[in-house]
Amino acid sequence: MIDLSSYKAIIFDMDGTLVDSMGAHIDAWQLTCDAFGYPFDRDYQYSLGGVPTFETVHLMNAKYGKSHDPAEVALYKKQAFEGLDHVPRLIQDTLDVFNHYKGIMPIAVGTGSDRQHAQMVLNEHGLLAQLSALVTADDVTQGKPHPETFVRAAELMGVAPQHCVVFEDTDMGRKAAVDGGMACFMVDNTRLIY
């Protein structure tokens, strides 16, 4: 087990870090790109994991010279995701960390997903009630790679950012953690990297 005794709180990203749902999100983005005429680039979409959907649309509009309404694209992507036959599994490596440290230190989730989706996924796996805090795209004005999501989670737990450790699966998420003054461990393809 990874030794986190030098920290006072843990913050997990959700999709791709605690819950193995990134594949389904990428599939939903592929359907969305096809519908709105964006070129689909799997690696690019994965790199945006953790970025709130509205911000992802802004980035895609800028990258591909489009001017689609972020609300319209976000709704389509949400419906595409919900239409997939996919029940996300928990990622064992990070679940082991979660289970080992729950009750020892506060644990939060900081995600780019909207609150309704995050609560549904976390509740489905019995994790929501065990959290000290949940920060979603609905709770911040600036999503990842800005550090607001993780800084807000630290505030809600009453722990200074420098005493928090974040678990993330994307470079944008890692940047958000580091820029927020936190240590960060990475998850790569459902495996925790020490």
Please state the pTM of the whole predicted model.
Answer: 0.83
Per-residue pLDDT reduced to its tens digit, 158-178: 999 999 999 999 999 999 999
Give the active site residue among 3, 13, 138, 179: 13
For residues 138 and 54, the answer to whether their CB atoms sit within 8 Å is no
Per-residue pLDDT reduced to its tens digit, 59-115: 999 999 999 999 999 999 989 988 887 778 899 999 999 999 999 999 999 999 889
Active site residue 41: no
Residue extents of the structural domains in the chain: 9-21+89-193, 22-83
Q: Does domain 9-21+89-193 have CATH number 3.10.450.50?
A: no
State how beta strands 107-110 and 133-135 pair: parallel
Q: Give backbone dihedrals phi and psi of 181, rounded to 5 degrees, phi first.
A: 85, 20
Q: Does domain 22-83 have CATH number 2.60.40?
A: no
Q: Token digits for 185?
A: 């461990």
State how beta strands 183-188 and 191-193 pair: antiparallel
Per-residue pLDDT reduced to its tens digit, 102-134: 999 999 999 998 899 899 899 989 999 999 999
Q: Band of the pLDDT at 17, cuts 50, 70, 90?
A: very high
pLDDT for 52 equals 82
pLDDT for 190 equals 86
Q: Token digits for 106?
A: 């506060």
pLDDT for 31 equals 96
Has residue 50 got a pLDDT over 90? no
